[in-house]
A and B are shown apart, each in its own frame.
Chain A
Amino acid sequence: MNILPVIDAQQVRYSYSDGTSALNGIDFHLYPGETVALLGRNGSGKTTFVLHLNGLLQGEGTIQVCGMAVCRQNLAAIRAKVGMVFQDSDEQLFMPTVLEDVAFGPRNLGLGVDHAVQRAREALSQTGVADLAGRAPYHLSAGEKRRVALAGVLAMSPEVLVLDEPTTFLDPPAERELIRLLKSLPQAKIVVTHDMPFARALATRAVFFEKGRVVANGPIEEIASRFHWEI
């Protein structure tokens, strides 16, 4: 069986403008339906790496998403394929109402108003927050904001979900709900997290980052134990 990866990154390197080297040759693959946890200390390059996956940062090396190279010409298509859910939902929810925010992505894809609204309503239902459609984002709880942010990404029908520290600001019930929701989604997922119970609940494989390099890649239990990645 020869399944092609939805994400195939080879020798990705990136340095910030001040010369700090953030990524030093990352090789990474993600297969359809798979969920991978990216682990590692703060500043190890996890977030910098995932920002490359839909062209928000562009360094050296090659990245292919669903067979397309991440380059300027393909950015619109790539951004429809890779949905990013950021750590701080407040940065992701900037439109006056929840419905408009969730419809923002589909409208940018060129869908008409009716179609975009339909997609937005479906995504809100999928994440269990259809009743929040008319609300303003600043009136929502942290858990609701996270679900709306996820809906905003799902409305674009991505093939890959990238979640950066998705449990930040969530209480345990909201975290449980998020796990249940993410498990129900068919997309391949990359989860950047320090929250090991969360990572264990979702991912089977983990990739461990250290100083801008992937130093281990394997079953999550093995990685956690090898790097003493427990509290």
Chain B
Amino acid sequence: MSLKYAVIDRWSQGQSVFHRLDARMKMTALLVYLLSIATLKPVRAPEMIAFGVLILIGMTLSALPIGGFLLRGAVVLPFTGTFAAISAFGGQTDFAVGLVAKSYLSALGVLLLAATTPMPALLHAAQWLKVPRVLLLVIQFLYRYLFILVEQAGRMRQAALCRGSALSKRSRGERMSSAAGMLSVLFARSYERAEGIQRAMLSRGFHGQIPLLTNPAARLKDWAFALCAVAATLAIRLGGRL
């Protein structure tokens, strides 16, 4: 399947209230949310439930499909679940439960931002938050050309299937060899494409710096959202500890 149809990318094109909020404000709120969860010790059910309710409110405002959203957030569980299982076997049950809950809620928070904000807006927000420019450019180019690379790989796979690659009784070695061949072709094409991109950039006067446009000012309702979200998060985080 092509990334062209990637679910999160499609979700991010929505037009809900939450989608229309300023990406910088959403990213700021997310950072506070993630820090609050990460520094929460010990993990207690009421606080976890309250953080979950925050996500639920965001999810409702963004009109995302609940099942698909919750399922995609679970992508982190195989990783953290492993560590949690080891801890549980070691007798640290509370830590294990906390780890799973924290990682799942954090993943849902990140997913909520990614699923309601198009990539260009995310990049602008990261730029506003002073993320190093070189890192942003790497992400920008990676995201832009990943789509094309995956489509190219898909076309090569189709061509191989058309020539019976799935039906033949080739040895593992032969399969590995043809996969390696495909990878090397992909690499060579990526290299050629990189040269083409550089030529296109030079022909439009590129001289080493990519000039970005500035963001429009955030509206009052965007600031209000950020204020409410950060206040609610801090209230949950600090509420029972003061």
Q: How far is the CB of A148 from chain B (nearest CB, A)?
A: 12
Q: Which of B140, B145, B205 touches A105 (beta carbons < 8 Å)? A: B205
In chain B, residues 78-103, which have Cβ atoms closer than 8 Å to a Cβ of chain A? none
Pairwise interchain contact A79-B144, C-beta atoms closer than 8 A: no
Distance in angstroms between the alpha carbons of A179 and B118 in the assembled complex: 33
Residues in chain B near residue A54, CB distance under 8 A = 203
In chain B, residues 180-222, which have Cβ atoms closer than 8 Å to a Cβ of chain A? 193, 196-197, 199-207, 210-214
Q: How far is the CB of A143 from chain B (nearest CB, A)?
A: 16
Distance in angstroms between the alpha carbons of A137 and B140 in the assembled complex: 12
Chain A contact residues, majority secondary structure: helix
Distance in angstroms between the alpha carbons of A52 and B175 in the assembled complex: 44
Question: Chain A 56-99, CB within 8 Å of chain B: the 1/0 string?
Answer: 10000000000000000000100110111010101110111101
In which size bucket is the chain A interface? 35 or more
Q: Which of A86, A97, A139 touches B199 (beta carbons < 8 Å)? A: A86
Pairwise interchain contact A56-B214, C-beta atoms closer than 8 A: no
Q: Which of B124, B147, B200, B206 touches A108 (beta carbons < 8 Å)? A: B206
Pairwise interchain contact A152-B204, C-beta atoms closer than 8 A: yes
Most buried by B among A51, A84, A136: A136
Most buried by A among B199, B203, B212: B203
Q: How far is the CB of A75 from chain B (nearest CB, A)?
A: 9
Distance in angstroms between the alpha carbons of A79 and B206 in the assembled complex: 10
Q: Which residues of B contact A (CB under 8 A)?
A: 4, 13, 118-120, 123-124, 140-141, 144-145, 147-148, 193, 196-197, 199-207, 210-214
Q: Which residues of A contact B (CB under 8 A)?
A: 51, 54, 56, 76, 79-80, 82-84, 86, 88, 90-92, 94-97, 99-100, 103-105, 107-109, 113, 116-117, 136-139, 152-153, 156
